[in-house]
Chains A and B, each alone.
Chain A
């Protein structure tokens, strides 16, 4: 089956710093999604990417759909304490299958 490699597994940063995390795949995806999950809650959609090369921003978050369709990155600028959580990338393959393949997550800790 398809595998998503997400890195880094965890990050400790100072408040105000910028953060970058990425996902790579062994096969292509038609859609890349980035979710954030807080403890005890379900993942919440941050950004959706539908086109190779697409660069999309949502406030302090910026994500890109890699031109090869096998990778994506998420940047968070000027981190704040509420950015703490687990960030997941997810990809949707070509064809009729609708289920998402998820990365293993990046645990982000923001230090004051």
Chain B
């Protein structure tokens, strides 16, 4: 498809388990972003990748969160030892140069 694709769309897991969330950005977009949206809230920045530069990890809430972007395209956000407060919608966005960010539909993560 032409848009940002995220998978899975929904993920339910037990507290303490690790989860991996995937983002396929729009083809050719050099920048990729991860945000977290808690219920009824705005989006909270997590991490930003730009080309081959070191990622901006300033928004990651703890060392249980990490992300990779392989080959300048697909990105994976990993949450280790999940906690109930990690329950949220995780949104990925991509952009080209200085253009606005375009979002995927997110992964709704529920921690039991």
Q: Mark the stretch among B12-20, B43-51, B63-71, B73-81 that contacts chain A.
A: B43-51
Which residues of chain B have C-beta atoms less than 8 A from A103's C-beta? 42
Quick check: B43 and A88 within 8 Å, CB to CB? yes
CA distance A35 to B33 in the complex (A): 16
B interface secondary structure, majority: strand
Quick check: B43 and A48 within 8 Å, CB to CB? no
Instruction: Count how many chain A residues have C-beta atoms less than 8 Å from C-beta atoms of the other chain.
Output: 23
Which residues of B in the span 31-68 have a Cβ within 8 Å of any Cβ on A?
31, 33, 35, 40-45, 48, 50, 56, 59
Q: Mark the stretch among A38-46, A53-61, A68-76 that contacts chain B.
A: A38-46
CA distance A90 to B40 in the complex (A): 16
User: Contacts A33-B100, A42-B103, A44-B103: A98 and B50 contacting too (C-beta < 8 A)?
Assistant: yes
Closest to B4 in A: A42
